[in-house]
C-alpha cells in the first residue's frame, strides 16, 4: 500500500476541499529545463530517453526538484502507441515527430490492430521506476493520446498545421476514420489500464487536436471513442481529459465520464465551474505564453485565474496547453509559489483535521 505525503491533487480530482490549490503543468518535464537538455544531448534522441526507465524517471523528477509541484507526470509520449502498431516513429530535431508509414488507405487501415502490450513494456517499466523514485511524495499521472488525436498523427504521418488529410477523411471515408479511432480506443484503454497496474495514480487523455473537428464530428470521432476508453478503465482510478479548441462543445465534454476536464485558455473558467463544477473537477487554463511575461504579470494572472475558479472544491491549476521551450524556469517558480500562496488561508480551517492524515492509494476512489 502506497502512502502519499501530498495527496492534494487527488483530493481536488475527487472535488474534496484542499488546504491549497494543487498545481502541476503540462509538459513540466522536458525541453525548457537545462538539466533535461543535457540528458537529451547525452542520450542522442528523445526515444532513447523514453525507452530507458531510469532516465525517464530522472526526467520526471527534475521539475519536482526545482518547484513544489503537486503531481508528477510520466516521461513518455502520446505517440508510443502508433509506434508499437508498427508505424515507425522518429523525432527529428526541430521538426517534431515523423512516422515512416501512415494509415491513409483502405489496405493499411484494414491491417491496423491494437498493439501487443509487450511492445510497450518500456512505458510500464518507466511508470514503476518513476513511482518508486517518487517514494510517495506526490501522485503520478499516467497518460495517452486520445483516439482521435492519435489518428491525426497516424493519417498525416507527423505534425501538421491543419491536419488536412484526417479532416478530409472525416467526410470522404468516415467509415475508415471510425475504424481507426475504434482500434485506437481499445489500444489506449489497455495501455492506460496497464499504467494504472504499474502504479499510475491518475490517468490522463490528451486530445490536443479536438478543435480540428466540427461539433458533430467531434462527438463522433473524438468524444464517443474517449467515452469508450473511460468505460474500460478501472473504476477506482481518477481520470482527466484535456481537450484543446472545443470550448463550444463543453456541455458534451463534461458528460464524457472523466473525473476532471482540462481546458485551454479560450474557456471561461468561472462560467465552466459555475455551470458544471458540481459534476466534474476542472484543470487549467492559463495561456502558457503568460509564462514568458515578467513575474509580476504572472502573479497577477495567477490571482485572476484562482479568483475566477472560485472556492468550490474541484480545481487544479495548470496551463491551457504545454509549456513552450522558451519558458524561463524562474518564471515557473514564481507561478507555483503564487498558486500555493493564494487562497490557502481561507480553506485551511476546513482541512486542518485532515492535513496531518496520510492518505492511502486505496482510499483514492
Question: If we measure between CA atoms, which residue out of 76, 72, 77 comes closest to residue 24?
Answer: 72
Identify which of residues 100 and 349 has a Cβ nearer to ligand CP3 in the complex.
Answer: 100
Query: What string of DSSP letters covers 59-82?
Result: HHHHHHHHS--S-EE-S--TTHHH
User: Under the criterion CB under 6 A, does residue 130 sit at the interface with ligand CP3?
Assistant: no
What nine digits make up the cell of 236?
Answer: 477506482
**314 forms part of the interface with ligand CP3 (CB under 6 A):** no
| Residues 6 or more apart whose Cβ sits within 8 Å of residue 353 | none
Ordered strands of the 260-263 beta sheet: 72-73, 140-145, 202-207, 238-243, 260-263, 281-286, 315-319
Q: Which residue among the candidates 31, 197, 219, 232 is catalytic per the annotation?
A: 31
Residues 151-170 within binding reach of ligand CP3 (CB under 6 A): 159
Catalytic annotation present for 40: yes
Q: Which of 14, 36, 83, 153 is catalytic?
A: 153
70 or 77, CB closer to ligand CP3? 77
Contacts with ligand CP3, 204-243, as mask; x by CB under 6 A: --x-x-----------------------------------
Residue 264 found at the interface with ligand CP3 (CB under 6 A): no
Q: Nearer to ligand CP3 by C-beta: 19 or 208?
A: 208
**Catalytic-role residue among 40, 238, 273, 343:** 40
Q: Considering the complex, what minimum distance in angstroms separates the CB of residue 32 from ligand CP3?
A: 9
Is 75 a binding residue for ligand CP3 by CB under 6 A? The answer is yes
Give the 3-state DSSP-derived string for 170-218, with helices as H, strands as E and coil as C.
Answer: HHHCHHHHHHHHHHHHHHHHHHHHHHHHCCCCEEEEEECCHHHCCHHHH
Helix (H) or strand (E) holding 231: helix 224-232
Cα–Cα distance measured from residue 145 to residue 156, given in angstroms and rounded to the nearest whole number: 15
Stretch that binds ligand CP3, among 3-11, 72-80, 305-313, 355-363 (CB under 6 A): 72-80
What residue spans of 26-112 are helical by DSSP H? Answer: 34-43, 46-50, 53-66, 80-82, 106-110
- Judged by CB, which is closer to ligand CP3: 156, or 190? 156
The span from the CA of 148 to the CA of 153, in Å, is 9
153 assigned to active site: yes
The angle that helices 224-232 and 147-156 make with each other, rounded to 10 degrees, is: 120
Our finding on whether 336 is near ligand CP3 (CB under 6 A) is no
Nearer to ligand CP3, 150 or 342 (CB): 150
Distances from the Cα of 169 to the Cα of 124, 128, 181, 327, angstroms: 33, 39, 12, 36
Residue among 7, 58, 70, 77 that touches ligand CP3 (CB under 6 A): 77
Paired sense of beta strands 281-286 and 260-263, if any: parallel
Number of residues binding to ligand CP3, judged by CB under 6 A:
21
Closest distance of CB 160 from ligand CP3, Å: 10
The answer to whether the beta carbons of residues 265 and 296 sit under 8 Å apart is: no
**Closest CB 336 distance from ligand CP3, rounded Å:** 15
Task: Please report whether residue 28 would count as binding ligand CP3 according to CB under 6 A.
Answer: yes
96 belongs to the binding site for ligand CP3 (CB under 6 A): yes
Pairing between β-strand 281-286 and β-strand 238-243 as defined by DSSP bridges: unpaired
Kindly tell me which residue out of 13, 69, 79, 89 binds ligand CP3, with binding defined by CB under 6 A.
79
Catalog residues that contact ligand CP3 under the rule CB under 6 A.
26-31, 40, 46, 73, 75, 77-79, 91, 96-97, 143, 159, 206, 208, 322
Catalytic residues: 27, 31, 40, 77, 153
Amino acid at each position: 500500500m502506497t502512502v502519499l505525503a501530498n495527496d492534494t491533487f487527488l483530493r481536488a480530482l475527487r472535488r474534496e476541499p484542499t488546504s491549497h490549490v494543487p498545481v502541476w503543468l503540462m509538459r513540466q518535464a522536458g525541453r525548457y529545463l537545462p538539466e533535461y537538455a543535457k540528458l537529451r544531448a547525452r542520450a542522442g534522441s528523445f526515444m532513447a530517453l523514453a525507452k530507458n526507465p531510469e532516465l525517464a524517471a530522472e526526467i520526471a523528477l527534475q521539475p519536482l526538484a526545482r518547484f513544489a509541484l503537486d503531481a508528477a507526470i510520466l516521461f513518455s509520449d502520446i505517440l508510443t502507441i502508433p509506434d508499437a502498431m508498427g508505424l515507425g516513429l522518429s523525432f527529428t530535431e526541430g521538426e517534431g515527430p515523423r512516422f515512416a508509414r501512415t494509415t491513409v488507405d483502405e489496405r493499411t487501415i484494414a491491417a491496423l490492430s491494437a498493439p501487443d502490450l509487450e511492445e510497450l513494456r518500456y512505458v510500464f517499466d518507466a511508470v514503476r521506476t518513476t513511482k518508486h523514485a517518487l517514494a510517495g511524495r506526490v501522485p503520478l499521472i499516467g497518460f495517452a493520446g486520445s483516439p482521435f488525436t492519435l489518428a491525426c498523427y497516424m493519417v498525416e504521418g507527423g505534425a501538421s498545421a491543419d491536419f488536412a488529410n484526417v479532416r478530409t477523411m472525416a467526410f470522404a471515408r468516415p467509415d475508415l476514420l471510425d475504424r481507426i479511432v475504434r482500434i485506437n480506443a481499445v489500444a489506449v484503454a489497455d495501455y492506460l489500464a496497464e499504467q494504472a497496474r504499474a502504479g499510475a495514480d491518475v490517468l490522463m487523455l490528451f486530445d490536443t487536436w479536438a478543435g480540428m473537428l466540427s461539433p458533430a464530428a467531434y462527438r463522433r470521432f473524438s468524444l464517443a471513442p474517449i467515452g469508450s476508453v473511460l468505460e474500460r478503465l478501472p473504476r477506482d482510478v481518477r481520470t482527466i481529459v484535456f481537450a484543446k479548441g472545443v470550448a463550444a462543445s463543453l456541455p458534451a465534454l463534461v458528460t464524457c465520464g472523466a473525473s476532471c476536464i482540462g481546458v485551454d485558455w479560450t474557456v471561461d473558467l468561472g462560467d465552466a465551474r459555475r455551470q458544471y463544477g458540481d459534476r466534474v473537477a476542472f484543470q487549467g487554463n492559463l495561456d502558457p505564453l503568460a509564462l514568458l511575461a515578467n513575474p509580476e504579470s504572472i502573479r497577477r494572472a495567477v490571482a485572476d485565474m484562482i479568483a475566477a475558479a472560485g472556492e468550490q472544491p474541484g480545481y487544479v491549476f495548470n496551463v491551457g496547453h504545454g509549456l513552450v521551450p522558451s519558458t524561463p524556469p524562474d518564471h515557473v517558480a514564481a507561478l507555483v509559489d503564487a498558486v500555493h500562496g493564494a487562497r490557502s488561508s481561507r480553506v485551511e480551517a476546513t482541512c486542518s483535521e485532515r492535513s496531518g492524515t496520510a492518505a492511502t492509494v486505496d482510499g483514492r476512489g
